Amino acid sequence: MTQVNPEGANPDGATPDEAGRPTRAEAEAAVRLLLRWAGDDPDREGLAGTPDRVVRSYEEFFAGYAVDPVALLERTFEETDGYDEIVLLRDIRLESYCEHHVVPIIGRAHVAYLPHRRVVGISKLARVVEAYAKRLQIQEKMTAQIANTINDVLQPRGVAVIIEAQHQCMTTRGIHKPGVAMVTSRMLGAFRDNPDTRRELLAMLGGSGGSAGV
């Protein structure tokens, strides 16, 4: 797994391999400016530590930029005794951020694949979801990225990714419609081409709850 230390080696928090990235001090100054724009005083007691906390939170929220999803899938196992049926991980909780408003997208992903001679550790599939979720996203792109990466690296007979999530850019602002969930899917290989395989997957998912996992 390829990771970048968000703290870096420099005292100001800049990472040495990202010359164009703002420093931690610059990021904190930007938060102070936003607090002033919102109409508050960043120097008052309750907000004095907020710029630092926000920057540290962003390092966690957007940690996926420092992860190589391809590397997560490189270790595979071929001793499967010929197993060639659906492998499905249901209800992988995800937390992402809308790239348009930088507010949370909270939901769950279902990830399935049909192995071709090899399988991967199931935690790696969840980590791929996490790597793409911990970025600024739109749900459609995130769904495609997860499916395409699994397909490109494992080269299975089929991949399916279904994401169901609530978008706070829709529930807490704008149209203000709480409880609305968005569902996206990406079907590749047998899941796209074979109706029986797709029906089998949907039957396996039939026991999932109806909420977006929030």
Which residue among 139, 145, 164, 166 is the active-site one? 139
Which residue among 59, 95, 99, 200 is the active-site one? 99
The three-state secondary structure class of 159 is strand
Which residue among 59, 101, 168, 200 is the active-site one? 101
Which residue among 95, 168, 169, 200 is the active-site one? 169
Taking the alpha carbons at both ends of the chain, their separation in whole angstroms is: 29
Q: Is 116 one of the catalytic residues?
A: no
Q: Is 110 one of the catalytic residues?
A: no
Q: Are 153 and 68 in contact (CB under 8 A)?
A: no
Which residue among 59, 98, 168, 200 is the active-site one? 98
Q: Is 101 one of the catalytic residues?
A: yes
Q: Is 45 one of the catalytic residues?
A: no
Which residue among 28, 137, 145, 167 is the active-site one? 167
Cα 144 off chain centre by? 11
Residue 45 tokens read as 């007691």
Amino acid at residue number 69: P
Q: Is 100 one of the catalytic residues?
A: yes
Which residue among 60, 100, 140, 155 is the active-site one? 100
* Cα separation, 68 vs 71, whole angstroms: 6
Residues tagged active-site: 98-101, 139, 167, 169
